[in-house]
Structure formats: C-alpha cells, structure tokens
Amino acid sequence: MVMPKVLLVDDDAAIIETLQCLVSVRGGEVVALTDSQEAADRIQAGEQFDLMLTDLRMKPVDGIQLITLAREKLPDMPVIVVSAYLDDKTIEHIQELGCRAYLDKPFSVDDVNSLLQMYLGPSA
C-alpha cells in the first residue's frame, strides 16, 4: 500500500506541529512547511502530493495563490483550508477555486481527523 504524501503549509509553527502529528499517526508522509514560497516552489516543480492543508494569510505567497497554483499543477489533489479568517465571501471564493473543505482556527482534533479520514482513508 502506498502511503499518502501530505503538504502542510502554515506560517504558525505550532499549527504545523499539531497538524504534522495528526497526519503522521495515520502513516502518511508529511511535508510540513512554514515557508509558503517553498511550498509554491515545490508545487511549481511538479512534486506530487495527495492532499494539501494550507492557511490563507501568509507571506510571501498567500493561501489563495497556493490553491490556484495547486489547481494548475495538481488538479486532482484535495485542498483543505485551515484559517482563522473564514467569512462567507472567503469560503465561497476558495470553493470556486476547488477547495474541498475548510477548518476554522482554532480547530478540534476530531474535526481534523474526520477530514483526514475522508481524504486519506482510515488510520494505518
């Protein structure tokens, strides 16, 4: 069985650490980045991922730009937005870009695990 490869992008190291723990226990490979430019570079270079969880408000590359790039390079990869800034307009916009799910910060472990199960399957 091939282990899923998950890209985590958030400029908050504590969020990355939490998400990395939750993904790792499922048996997947995790690429956890606090540098959104590095994430964009890796997607642009054609690196393959099975799922991306990203924040929206980051510099120099924001989450909307990452989602847009991911749709171009990895159109079948599910994207989950994890953000403290999710109003109706933003949710509508990320859904138009093909984002399949979103989580408000602060998020619950149960909510993250439910989405991971939905997109990656049961824990290893």
- In tens, the pLDDT along 16-65 reads 999 999 999 988 899 999 999 999 999 999 999 999 999 999 999 999 99
Place of tokens 């993250």: 112
- In tens, the pLDDT along 101-112 reads 999 999 999 999
Residue 122 has pLDDT above 90, yes or no: no
- In the chain, the domains with their CATH numbers are 5-120 (3.40.50.2300)
Cα 123 → chain centroid: 18
Note the pTM of the prediction, 2 decimals.
0.95
What DSSP line would sit under 66-84, residue for residue? HHHHHHHH-TTS-EEEEES
For 60, residues 6+ apart whose C-beta sits below 8 A from its C-beta are 36, 37
